[in-house]
Amino acid sequence: MSSINDPAVLFQGTTLEGPEIDRVTRTLGDLTDVFSDKDALAAMAADQKVYDVACYFPVADGTTAGLFFGITYIYPGKVGTEYFMTRGHFHQLRDRGEFYHCLEGEGMLILMDEDRQTRAEKMYPGSLHYIPGHTAHRTANTGNSMLVFSAFWPSDAGHDYQSISEKGFSGILVEQNGEPVLASK
Ligand code: F6R
Ligand code: ZN
């Protein structure tokens, strides 16, 4: 017996559509431990959207040897001089890697190893980024329009947000003279 089916999900342009898509939005109010300038943050609306994520999880979280797929949409903006960015995480299973592929906009992938050495890679349409294991990652929108990228990661990777929430990254991405600069914290 054989069969021909429609795909479960459509990924067209920058949109991910299908009944099994999980969507989450992060606002400034969700990210109070993330941005450095607390006075600038307090002066902004807590319901200001910072990023949306749409994910396709075809297998249960934690499944060995499965894959997950997601699209992240980061709004343009800054808190003080720091660009809008994602929370950032290590993978719970530290050796799990990930690919990011930029679809639209301009930004920076900020990477920090377990010795807290931080570096950044420029993101622009078409840029492909391999995030090795043992490396915390977050992305910042450095442009005036949405930054959109896709991500592919192992379904058993998990996310450790706690260590970033406690210690942050050693470098923060700020605007200086109109340019993004990785400054030490
Ligand atoms: C998955 C991954 C991305 C991020 C997304 C939001 O491992 O790295 O899909 O989850 O960019 O960032 P966080 O998860 O740090 O809020
Ligand atoms: Zn990740």
CATH number of the CATH domain containing 155: 2.60.120.10
- Which ligand gives the minimal distance to the CA of 87? 1
Tokens 């941005």 found at:
35
Phi/psi of residue 167, nearest 5 degrees: -115, -15
Neighbours of ion ligand 2 (CB under 5 A): 98
Question: How many independent structural domains does the chain possess?
Answer: 1
The answer as to whether 159 is a domain residue is yes
Residue 1 has pLDDT above 90, yes or no: no
Name 176's Cβ contacts closer than 8 Å, sequence gap at least 6: 81, 183
Reported as half-sphere exposure (CB side, CA atoms, 13 A), residue 98 has a value of: 29
User: pLDDT tens-digit profile of 100-146?
Assistant: 999 999 999 999 999 999 999 999 999 999 999 999 999 999 999 99
| Mean pLDDT value across the chain | 97
User: pLDDT tens-digit profile of 22-42?
Assistant: 999 999 999 999 999 999 999
Grouping H, G, I as helix, E, B as strand and the rest as coil, residue 167 is helix
Supply the residue whose CA is at minimum distance from atom 6 of ligand 1: 86
- Expressed in angstroms and rounded, the spacing between residue 86 Cα and the centre of ligand 1 is 7
The answer as to whether 181 is a domain residue is no
Model's pTM, two decimal places?
Answer: 0.98
What is the token pair recorded at 146?
């949405």
Grouping H, G, I as helix, E, B as strand and the rest as coil, residue 102 is strand
